[in-house]
Structure 1
Amino acid sequence: MITRAELDAAVRLVRPHVPVTPAYRWPLLEQVTGTPTWVKHENATPTGAFKVRGGLVYVARLLAAEPEVRGMISATRGNHGQSLAYAGRAHGVPVTIVVPEGNSPDKNAAMRGFGAELIVYGRDFQEAREYAMRLAEERGLPMVPAFHRDLVAGVATYAAELHEQASELDVVYVPVGQGSGLCANIAVRDLLGRRTEVVAVGAEGAPAYALSFRAGHPVTTPEADTFVDGVATRVPDDEAVAVMLRGAARFVQVSDQATETAMRLLWQTTHQMPEPAGAIALAGLIADTARPDGAAAAVIMTGGNCDGELVRRVVSDS
């Protein structure tokens, strides 16, 4: 997916903005998982999520190739949009983001806070994405995709950090939205020559990538019905599916209830509140019946951008 030179270049672009994020073992969490468990805290980035790494690399490389660019447009459920807004502000380039109706108000506010123009359109991410593509054509601006080699290269910087912090990992659990995180972990594992299993994790109510994994080709679904907005995809990316099929060990699907339980568990054991997509990897580890006993595992807390109302619900049920 990426070369070592691309990864090293991405580190140079990301590091001035994003210090190395922590990876910790939490004893109380391991009492539940029953296995050595590292948590990679990507909630500790300047946008509260891992995707800022990809946004920084994508925008820097776009402007290096096309310095005349006067703006860009994309669609998101939140963290991808925040990453582009952050990178756009850093480079002085206006960013327009399209989000679906009912999107997280806290993530919407954060994107505006980083300077993005926000447009609300469509019933889900796919409809927002299709509108953003039309808008980009109308305005004559580049449309930033949700999956791209440069985005993967940026995200791969956290995977490289993780393998330095926890050198002997047997398995890593990664949420799958559009696939940049999964592909980045597969790419780094292969670049480093590790034997670590990379396990994809998704929501039962948004099965497009899980169905694609089982079918061996991209499968589109009519709905993506889950509160885990970061994985609510119904049209997979062809290239991401191809990388997943080559490099993922298996795909674990979990219920929304299991993800909410994982949010509560992370709050109780790490005293940090993940957003739903930031907890689904832990739900996947707990549900994974194929994991060998005693395997050294890592879960990616991909972000902590959780709406206040959901935080209150999770904490009140603890």
Structure 2
Amino acid sequence: MISLIDIQNASRIIKQKVIRTPLIYSASFSKMCDAEVYLKLENLQQTGSFKLRGAACKIDSLVNQSDGCTGVVAASAGNHAQGVALAAKRAGLPATIVMPESASISKQEATRAYGGEVILHGQSIVECIEKAQKLAQNGNVFIHPFDDPDIICGQGTIGLEILEDLPDTDAIFVPIGGGGLMAGVSMAVKSVRPEVQLIGVQAAACPSAFQALQEGKVTCVESVKSIADGISVKQIGQLPFEIIHSLVNQIVLVEEDQIAASILLLLERRKVLAEGAGAVPLAALLSGKSDFPKGGKIVLVISGGNVDSPLLDRIIRQGLVWNGRIMRFSVCLEDVPGALMEILKIIAFLKANVLHIYHERSGWDIPIHLSHVELELETRGPQHILEISKTLEESGYRLCNLS
């Protein structure tokens, strides 16, 4: 088991190798949940996530070993890969990173840009870890993404920084994948202020830590694809589990629509770009599932911001839909001049913005005297959608496929 002293030593080791990320207050989120909400912005860390902390700590320990280290091997879908590649490059060590064949091109290229040699293998992190462990021989050392004391100590430095910047913190929300970040932060925080509530957050699509706590042992879970791919780990690490089991107050599961909405909220309200895993703390806070102290000082660890641009576009659109900011429907109009203009007049009067129009009159299922129109509108929210629907229906329009 690691200790506070170990994490404090890690803090001294990596002090000149990582960015001390800011802790910022959010008035918007504070009003939403009746608390003082602060964001620990690890998305601003070099490489775009907290993973550099653990990697820098681990590689420092390898460099200082008496028997030496000729290179490192790691397995990751993205963030750990980039952290290890950069930390190894700075230490003058070659780094080989095994990534899933489905890993995004942008994350592959970022890892290569930091000096890592990328090998694509398998479809899951488990397969990547197995491959990486086989490659770790002849002086090369495998760096586990979360089940390693040095990695956990490096990630735990975030907890020390939070308490230094906000000594009277009441609760901290932390994403959980393999558990290294949650384990490190928990050990650091609970060792200094045991009364602080530690709330872990997982995507409901992959509840490995939640299930492990339910069963009292590490277990492998079934999972489905999630926006929060950075924490989609089917089995929590053994060492992180032991720490989390004894120190964490609660684990909350959040759904995909809540994660997408939180990514959008972070962008719009604080101009913070967070990946899915980085946005789950806000999703949990706003879900009402957590037992945080009302009126207290709450910290959300925004663990990373490495989201692919094409995916971000889809997430934003989905977030707008789930937040009631986009309205879609179809309607049949008389196929006469001015019919489309009349419905658009009503929409304009109601202050909705037309994003897309699809007008069809030649479909096999469309009566000869009618045309089929599909509309996508930008709205202010759910109440605005209700107002638009009611007004159009009262004006004689029959809305279909409303979403």
Shorter-normalised TM range: over 0.9
Partner of 1:308: 309
Partner of 2:76: 76
Q: How much has 1:15 moved relative to structure 2?
A: 1.4
Cα offsets for 1:282-305 (capped at 9, x unmatched): 111222243332232111000111
Mapped contact 1:38–1:166 kept (Cα < 8 A) = no
Which aligned pairs between 1:1-12 and structure 2 lie closer than 5 A? 1-12=1-12
Q: How much has 1:235 moved relative to structure 2?
A: 2.0
* Alignment partners' CA distance in 1, 2:295 and 2:226: 31
* Alignment partners' CA distance in 1, 2:290 and 2:10: 35
Q: How much has 1:140 moved relative to structure 2?
A: 5.3
* Alignment partners' CA distance in 1, 2:251 and 2:8: 29
Greater shift after overlay, 117-126 or 283-292? 283-292
* Alignment partners' CA distance in 2, 1:172 and 1:255: 20
**What amino acid maps onto 1:294 in structure 2?**
G
Partner of 1:276: 276
Cα offsets for 1:239-272 (capped at 9, x unmatched): 1111111011011001111111111111111101
* Alignment partners' CA distance in 2, 1:21 and 1:173: 16
Partner of 2:231: 231
* Alignment partners' CA distance in 2, 1:197 and 1:120: 40
Partner of 1:297: 298
**What amino acid maps onto 2:141 in structure 1?**
P
Which structure has the highest helix share of the two?
A: 1
Mapped contact 1:275–1:304 kept (Cα < 8 A) = yes
Greater RCO, 1 or 2 (C-alpha within 8 Å, sep 6+): 1
Partner of 2:141: 142
Indicate the percent of aligned positions where both proteins have the same amino acid: 26
Partner of 1:53: 53
Q: How much has 1:24 moved relative to structure 2?
A: 0.7
How many residues get paired? 317
Return 5+ residue gaps in structure 2 as ranges: 321-403
Cα offsets for 1:36-75 (capped at 9, x unmatched): 1110001111111111011101000011114531111110
**What amino acid maps onto 1:183 in structure 2?**
A
Mapped contact 2:170–2:296 kept (Cα < 8 A) = yes
* Alignment partners' CA distance in 2, 1:307 and 1:66: 41
RMSD (Å), alpha carbons: 1.6
**What amino acid maps onto 1:57 in structure 2?**
C
Partner of 1:159: 159
Distance 1:4 1:248, change over 3 A: closer
* Alignment partners' CA distance in 1, 2:93 and 2:301: 30
Mapped contact 1:224–1:233 kept (Cα < 8 A) = no
TM-score by length of 2: 0.75
Which aligned pairs between 1:151-300 and structure 2 lie closer than 5 A? 151-287=151-287, 288-300=289-301
Q: Are positions 1:94 and 2:94 aligned together?
A: yes
Q: Equivalent residue of 2:74, what SS? A: strand
TM-score by length of 1: 0.95
* Alignment partners' CA distance in 2, 1:81 and 1:109: 11
Q: Equivalent residue of 2:161, what SS? A: helix
* Alignment partners' CA distance in 2, 1:196 and 1:186: 9
* Alignment partners' CA distance in 1, 2:32 and 2:104: 30
Q: Equivalent residue of 2:294, what SS? A: coil
Q: Equivalent residue of 2:123, what SS? A: coil
Mapped contact 1:152–1:184 kept (Cα < 8 A) = yes
**What amino acid maps onto 1:206 in structure 2?**
C
Return 5+ residue gaps in structure 1 as ranges: none
**What amino acid maps onto 2:253 in structure 1?**
Q
Cα offsets for 1:187-239 (capped at 9, x unmatched): 11122134101111101111111100111111112445323111111122111
* Alignment partners' CA distance in 2, 1:199 and 1:312: 29
**What amino acid maps onto 2:142 in structure 1?**
M
**What amino acid maps onto 2:314 in structure 1?**
R
Q: How much has 1:120 moved relative to structure 2?
A: 0.9
* Alignment partners' CA distance in 2, 1:244 and 1:194: 14
Q: How much has 1:125 moved relative to structure 2?
A: 1.1
Q: How much has 1:311 moved relative to structure 2?
A: 2.1
* Alignment partners' CA distance in 2, 1:276 and 1:202: 11
Q: Equivalent residue of 1:65, what SS? A: coil
